[in-house]
Chains A and B, each alone.
Chain A
Amino acid sequence: MDSVWTLLSFGPKGWSDDIAYGVLVTISLALATLPIGLVIGFFVAVAKQSSEPSLRMAGNVYTTIFRGLPELLTLFVVFYGGQIAVGQIIRFFSPGTVVEINSFVAGMIALGVVFSSYCSEVFLSAFRAIPAGQYEGGYAIGLSKGQTMRLVVLPQLIRIALPGLANLWLNLLKDTALVSAIGLPDTLRQAGIAARVTKEAFLFFGVACLVFLVLAMISSVGIHAIERKVGSSGVTR
C-alpha cells in the first residue's frame, strides 16, 4: 500500500495532477456558464417586469420549468436528448456533418439555463427596488430607453443584485459537480476515479470537498473585493 503522501503527490503514482486537471475543468465550466446565465437571466428579468403580459408569461414559463426540474435531470435531458435532437436537425439539413454536444457544452447549457432562471429572480427584485423616478429622470434629460437602461438603471441594478448573484455563483460552483455524472472529468469525477482505483474513497472524496471549500473561500474574497469596488463608487457619486 502506498502512503497517503504518495497518493496525493504529483508523480506517476500520485493523483494530484489528475485532480488538479479536474479543478481546472470545474473552474472553466463555472466561468463559461456565468456569462450565459447572467445574460439570459437579465433578459428574462426584463421580460418578467415588462408591461406586456405575453412577455411576462413567456418569462414565467421559463423560470417555472427550469427551477422546477432537478439539475441532474436537466443535465441528462440536454446531454442525451439535445444530442439526439440536434443530430436529427443537422441530418435533415445537411446529412453527413456531425455536431456533437460534448459533456462540457451540455453542462454549460444545462447549468446556464438553471442559473439564469434563478438569476432572473434576483434581477427582478433588484428592478423592483429601483424607483420609477430613475427611469423618468433618464427620459427627462433626453436619454433613449436603451440609454436609460444602460447608463442609469443597470449600474444601480448590479449593485443591488450583487449579493444575490454572489450566492448564485457559489451555487453554480457546487452544481458543476453534477457534470461528473455525464462523464466530464471535473474535480469530483477525477477524485472518484482515484477513489475507485486506490480504494481510498474517504481520502479522495474528502480532498474533493476541500477543493470546493477552497474555491468557495477564494470566491468570497473576490466577491468582497467587487462589492467594495462597486460600493465605493456609489458613495462618491
Chain B
Amino acid sequence: MLGMKRVTLAVSAAALALVLSGATSQAQTALKIGTEGAYPPFNNLTADGQLVGFDIDIANALCEEMKVTCEFVTQDWDGIIPALQAGKFDAIIASMSITPERAEKVDFTGKYYNTPPAIAAPKDSTLTGVSKEDLAGKIVGVQGSTTHFNYSTATYTDSEIKSYPTAQEYQLDLANGRLDAVNDDISVLEEWLSTPEGECCKLIGPVQSVDSIHGPGAGIAVRKGETELRDKLDAAIKAIRANGKYKEINDKYFSFDVYGG
C-alpha cells in the first residue's frame, strides 16, 4: 500500500506542477525578464544564486522607470528565443545583439549598449592578428547561437570552429589548451582575463564588427507584435540615458562608455 500511496503522491505532485505552471498569468505590474546568467560582466549568477551584472542593473533601472517590478528568469542561451516565444518571460535582457535573423522571430528595441568583439588566446600564443589568415589552421572556440559564432564561421573559414553552450566552457577549454583562440565580446573577455582563471590567456585584439552579422549592438527582445511593450522599453532606455542612471551603471562596470557611437 505504501508504494501505491507514493505513486498517488507523485502523480498529484506532477498534476500540481502542471496546474501551477498553467495558472500563472502574470500580474500587471510585474515584468518577467529572461536572462542567461552565465555572461559576466553583463549577467551572471553568484555562488549563492543571485543575478548580478550590467544587464541586470539596466533592467532594474528600466523597470523602475516604467514603474513595474522586474522578475528575472534564467534560461540557457540556445533556448532563450523559443522560451520568449512560449511566454516564459516577456523580454530578453541578456546582451542579445540585434540581428536580421533574430528580428524575424522577435521584435527588438534600439540598442542599449554596443561593444566590439575581440579575440583572446593563451599567453604563449604566437598569434599577432585577428584576420582570417592569422587564424588559419587554428581551433577557435565560441559560444553557440551567438553573433560571434556566426562571425567566426563566416570569416575564419580556414579554421576549425567549436561551439560551446556557455562562455565558461570555452574558457575552460582555452585554459586547457584544446583551443588556440576564442572569439567573444571584448568586455566579456577582459572581465575573464582579469580573474585568476583568466591568467592563462591574453587579449589578441578587437575584431572589426560587421553590421550584417553583429548588428547595431545589444537590444531588448520582446515577442513579435508586442509593440506597446517595446515602445515603453525604448522610452525607458532614453529616459535613463538622459537622467544619468545609465552613466552611473556604466561607470560601475566599465571604464569607458559602452553605449558606443
Contacts and interface: CB of A to CB of B under 8 A. Distances in A.
A224 B74 CA distance: 41
B7 interface: yes
Contacts of B175: 199
B86 A84 contact: yes
B86 A100 contact: yes
Given A32-B13, A199-B197, A201-B172, A80 B79 contact: yes
B17 A105 contact: yes
Contact of B10 (A32, A80, A83, A226): A32
A97 B86 contact: no
B169 interface: yes
Contacts of A35: 7, 10-11, 14
B75 A100 contact: no
Contacts of A196: 166, 168-169, 172
Contact of A83 (B11, B47, B83): B83
B138 interface: no
A100 B10 contact: no
A131 interface: no
Given A84-B82, A84-B86, A98 B17 contact: no
Interface size class on chain B is 20 to 34
Interface string A192-220: 00001101010000000000000000000
Interface string A60-92: 000000000000000000011001101100000
B172 A83 contact: no
A222 to B, nearest CB: 10
Nearest to B166: A196
Q: Is the interface of B mostly helix, strand, loop or mixed?
A: helix
Given A35-B11, A108-B14, A102 B21 contact: yes
B25 interface: yes
Interface in B10-31: 10-11, 13-14, 17-18, 21-22, 24-26
A207 B17 CA distance: 29
Interface residues of A, number: 31
B85 interface: yes
A143 interface: no
Given A98-B25, A197-B168, A79 B79 contact: yes
A83 B75 contact: no
A97 B25 contact: yes
Interface of B: 3, 6-7, 10-11, 13-14, 17-18, 21-22, 24-26, 47-48, 74-76, 79, 82-83, 85-88, 166, 168-169, 172, 175, 197
Nearest 3 CB-CB pairings of A with B: A83-B86, A98-B87, A196-B168
22 contacts: A12-B47, A31-B6, A32-B13, A32-B14, A32-B17, A35-B14, A36-B11, A36-B14, A79-B79, A87-B85, A87-B86, A97-B25, A98-B24, A98-B87, A100-B21, A100-B87, A105-B14, A105-B17, A182-B79, A196-B168, A196-B169, A197-B168
